[in-house]
Amino acid sequence: MTHFLHPEMFWLLLLPILFRFLLPAARGLHGDALRIPFLRDIEKISIKSGSVWKQSLPANSGFSPKLTLLSFIWLLLVLAAARPQWIGEAVRLPEKSRDILLVVDISTSMLEPDFSLNGRRIDRLSAVKKTASEFMRRRTDDRIGLVLFGSRAYLQAPVTYDKKSVEEILWNADAGMAGNSTSIGDALGLSLKSLRDGNTPGQKVIILLTDGENNSGALSLPQAVKLARDENVKIYTIGVGSDNAFVNSFFGINLQRTPGLDEKSLQDIARQTEGTYFRAKDTDSLEKIYTRIDKLEAVDHDASYIRETKELFYWPLGAALVLAAVLLLYSRRK
């Protein structure tokens, strides 16, 4: 779409007409022209020679190349002064965005096959990968990062808009690659440091997903919670695992509760950081948890729009300069 930034400049097109009628006619350099009293008589003389008659002088047609060039130059200068611009399509820019850091437990206990997908049993980590990937795709306006932890915590991806890369890193993670124990405190400490070093505006959120308890690492859970509160970071905690761990027996009976899951500590972390604790017992409940987090951290729809703008005034201005050069050459030849 093309528009003019200063359309009022087109009133300048009337300026030459106003000068023509309001200002007196210019006089010659040496006063009025000389009058020849018998010039009118000379014009009346006609000479007849055979069938050919001397024709009278042709009337002035009014066409002036110089005046035409001046008119076009003035038109182009006024067009350039009106600032023509090309305006592109509107691009939506979010007013606010969040930094969301996924903190995922990849200890060996995440290999427990107590989840199911399409009637097939899968391990906990596979269910987490599927549901977390879908969650990332929905957060179109947010930056997403990833921390994987076991005995030690590793920042795999700082918060970024490149969610596809974060998703690929998550899918390539294997249980046990960070150790067999669970250092939740260290994972939260590393996550908070990453969010602070990012130095980006907007709300900061951590989603902690684990099936165990804090049994390793240097940072305790109370210390991690204090750091989160100081940094004003909200933590959502998700406890993963079915109500009972399946124990092979002659009858296939569920005999034992999921070992290691410290629900009380996860609840305390969420409560003290103004987050929420969720329990994921199967794939469906895990998907619903991410849907609830979507609603709790709803995307801000009050967004602004920006349009790409390109200036076009240099085209008529350049054409005016070319015509001015042509006029100069024409005047010199005359």
Contact call for residues 77 and 320 (beta carbons, < 8 A): yes
Residues 62-112 pLDDT 10s: 557 888 888 899 999 999 999 999 888 877 655 567 899 999 999 998 999
- DSSP notation for 139-185: -TTSEEEEEEESSSEEEEEEEES-HHHHHHHHHT--TTTT-SS--HH
Is residue 297 pLDDT above 70, yes or no?
Answer: yes
Q: Is residue 38 part of a domain?
A: no
Span 51-59, average pLDDT: 45
Report which of 110, 93, 83, 95 is spatially closest to residue 9, judged by C-alpha positions: 83
| 212 and 310 share one domain | no
Q: Is residue 35 part of a domain?
A: no
- Beta-strand (E) ranges in the chain? 2-4, 48-49, 52-53, 84-93, 99-105, 115-117, 120-122, 143-149, 153-160, 204-210, 234-240, 244-246, 254-257, 277-280, 304-311
Binning pLDDT at 50, 70 and 90, where does residue 252 land? very low
Query: Six-digit token pair at 6?
Result: 């200063």
| 81 and 207 share one domain | no
| 163 and 238 share one domain | yes
| 113 and 72 share one domain | no
Q: What pTM, to 2 d.p., does this model score?
A: 0.60
Is residue 55 pLDDT above 60, yes or no?
Answer: no
Determine the pLDDT at residue 62: 52
Q: Is residue 263 part of a domain?
A: yes
Q: Is residue 39 part of a domain?
A: no
Distance CA 230, CA 237 (A): 18
User: CA of 322: how far to CAs of 16, 69, 107, 331, in Å?
Assistant: 21, 11, 74, 14
β-strand 204-210 against 115-117: which pairing, if any?
unpaired
| Out of 91-105, 198-212, 255-269, 314-328, least confident range | 255-269
Determine the pLDDT at residue 35: 57
Report which of 124, 109, 103 is spatially closest to residue 176, judged by C-alpha positions: 109
Residues ≥6 apart with Cβ < 8 Å to 58: none
| 195 and 252 share one domain | yes
Residues 13-30 pLDDT 10s: 988 888 877 877 666 544
Residues ≥6 apart with Cβ < 8 Å to 48: none
Is residue 302 pLDDT above 60, yes or no?
Answer: no
Residues 105-154 pLDDT 10s: 999 989 999 888 888 899 999 999 999 999 999 888 789 999 999 999 99
Rounded to 5°, angle at Cα 57 from 52 and 60: 140
CB neighbours of residue 168 within 10 Å: 12
Is residue 33 pLDDT above 90, yes or no?
Answer: no
Determine the pLDDT at residue 43: 55
User: CA of 310: how far to CAs of 2, 5, 8, 23, 90, in Å?
Assistant: 9, 12, 20, 40, 14
Q: Which residue has the higher pLDDT, 64 or 230?
A: 230
Determine the pLDDT at residue 256: 39
Query: Six-digit token pair at 237?
Result: 């905690």
Domain that holds residue 240: 95-296
Distance CA 261, CA 277 (A): 13
To the nearest whole percent, how much of the chain has pLDDT over 90? 48
Q: Is residue 46 part of a domain?
A: no
Contact call for residues 145 and 102 (beta carbons, < 8 A): yes
Is residue 155 pLDDT above 50, yes or no?
Answer: yes
Q: Is residue 202 part of a domain?
A: yes
Q: Which residue has the higher pLDDT, 58 or 79?
A: 79
| Number of separate domains in the chain | 2
Distance CA 96, CA 8 (A): 38
| 267 and 321 share one domain | no
| 72 and 99 share one domain | no
Q: Is residue 50 part of a domain?
A: no
Mean pLDDT score of the chain, rounded to an integer?
82
